């Protein structure tokens, strides 16, 4: 073999080695990327499982605390229900609705506690305080809790003569109530407040929707009275 052939052969070998080295380097990079991706995925999964575990425990604790104070709320002892019981009962602390809603506000039981707190404060005539808790409860995942919170918030607006704002909130409650069989009652409240706000057309539209409801509703007669009161005609 000539010197030229030997040199050419060496160059081919060197090129082959370089290609193999590049391929090996690329393979190592791909493995590193894959391992990095798995590490990130492991962190995400771990974070999700920890979040779910924490959320479940938070919900259980909030529900337990709510169950301890609920009897005072149901008995009409509203101040106690709001502030809790000093000391302990059977060795367990009994915290109030406001504390539960504050500490566990991101849980469903915490938002339900906020709804109860809003109702209690409204009953005591403390509407400006109640608004905060009703507003918190509107974030609930439960339709019943959310509907009650919207209606409570609307009642607070109404006491401040914010009739249009109250009407809109009652309409929101009515939309949820349509799924729960409690649509017309809140729709009637919305119509009444639109009427008070001087928005005759919106009030009449709602009154007529209630009056024309195919199902029996206690609100029908009030809706018909509203139509007549605003100068409309009954069909």
State phi, psi for 198 to the nearest 5 degrees.
Answer: 80, 15
Which pLDDT belongs to residue 93?
Answer: 83
The whole model's pTM is what?
Answer: 0.74
Which pLDDT belongs to residue 26?
Answer: 61
Burial 23-46 (b: 16+ CB within 10 A, else e): eeeeeeeeeeeeeeeeeeeeeeee
User: What's the whole-number average pLDDT of the chain?
Assistant: 81
Q: Where are the domains of the chain?
A: 1-109, 142-235
**Maximum separation of any 2 CA atoms in the chain, in Å:** 116
Long-range contacts from 146-151, C-beta under 8 angstroms, 24+ separation: 146/176, 147/173, 147/176, 147/177, 147/180, 147/182, 147/186, 148/115, 148/119, 148/173, 149/111, 149/114, 149/115, 149/118, 150/176, 151/186, 151/189
Does residue 55 contact residue 107 with C-beta atoms inside 8 Å? yes
Which pLDDT belongs to residue 10?
Answer: 52
33 alpha-carbon distance from chain centroid: 39
Second-level CATH architecture of 142-235: Alpha Horseshoe (1.25)
Which pLDDT belongs to residue 201?
Answer: 94
Residue 138 CA to residue 145 CA, distance in Å, equals 7
Positions in the chain whose pLDDT score sits under 70: 1-55, 89-90, 215-216
Does residue 55 contact residue 68 with C-beta atoms inside 8 Å? no
Structure tokens at 202: 């919106």
């Amino acid at each position: 073999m000539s010197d030229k052939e030997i040199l050419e052969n060496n160059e081919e070998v060197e090129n082959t080695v370089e290609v193999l080295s590049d391929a090996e380097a690329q393979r190592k990079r791909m493995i590193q990327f894959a391992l990095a991706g798995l590490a990130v995925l492991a962190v995400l999964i771990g974070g999700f499982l920890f979040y779910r575990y924490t959320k479940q425990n938070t919900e259980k604790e909030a529900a337990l605390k709510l169950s301890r104070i609920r009897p005072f709320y149901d008995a009409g002892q509203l101040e106690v229900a709001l502030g809790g019981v000093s000391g302990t009962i059977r060795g367990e602390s009994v915290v109030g609705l406001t504390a539960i809603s504050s500490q566990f506000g991101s849980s469903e039981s915490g938002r339900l506690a906020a709804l109860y707190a809003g109702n209690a404060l409204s009953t005591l005539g403390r509407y400006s305080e109640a608004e905060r808790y009703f507003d918190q409860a509107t974030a609930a995942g439960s339709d019943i809790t959310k509907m009650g919170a919207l209606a409570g918030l609307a009642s607070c607006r109404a006491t401040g003569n914010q009739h249009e704002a109250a009407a809109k909130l009652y309409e929101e409650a009515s939309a949820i109530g349509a799924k729960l069989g409690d649509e017309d009652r809140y729709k009637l409240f919305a119509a009444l407040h639109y009427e008070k706000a001087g928005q005759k057309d919106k009030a009449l539209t709602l009154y007529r929707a209630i009056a024309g409801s195919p199902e029996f509703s206690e609100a029908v007669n009030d809706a018909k009275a509203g139509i007549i009161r605003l100068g409309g005609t009954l069909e």
